[in-house]
Amino acid sequence: MPVLVDFWASWCGPCRMIAPLIDEVAKEYQGKLVVAKVNVDESPRVATQYAVMSIPTIIFFKNGKVMDQAVGALNKPDLKRKIEENL
């Protein structure tokens, strides 16, 4: 199953803006997509491993491999389009 990982931090305004959208799509795509969040302050090694330089960054994985990513606060239609492209 594809995985969407949201890299974020509590001090990041754009991260807080898209957090409700991430929660909404997690419910909408339940059973089709796994949604996870990584706080870059709490898990800096994971952020470094995937070269996350700016947040929010959303990375899509399939079979453990990075398939796509988006940097910045996406609106819901753009987020859903990205998800559909990676299902």
Query: Tokens standing for 41?
Result: 């302050």
pLDDT at 87: 92
Condensed to tens digits (0 to 9), the pLDDT of residues 27-76 reads 999 999 999 999 999 999 999 999 999 999 999 999 999 999 999 999 99
pTM: 0.93
12 among known catalytic residues:
yes
Q: What CATH number does residue 28 fall under?
A: 3.40.30.10
pLDDT at 37: 97
pLDDT at 33: 96
Q: Kindly give the pairing relationship between strand 3-8 and strand 65-71.
A: unpaired
36 among known catalytic residues:
no
Print the domain residue range for 59.
Answer: 3-86
- When pLDDT is averaged across residues 13-19 and rounded to a whole number, the result is 96
Looking at 5, 7, 8, 12, which residue is catalytic? 12
Number of domains in the chain: 1
The H or E element that residue 61 is part of is strand 57-62
Separation CA 59–CA 78 (nearest Å): 14
Looking at 4, 5, 8, 15, which residue is catalytic? 15
Query: Tokens standing for 81?
Result: 């389009």
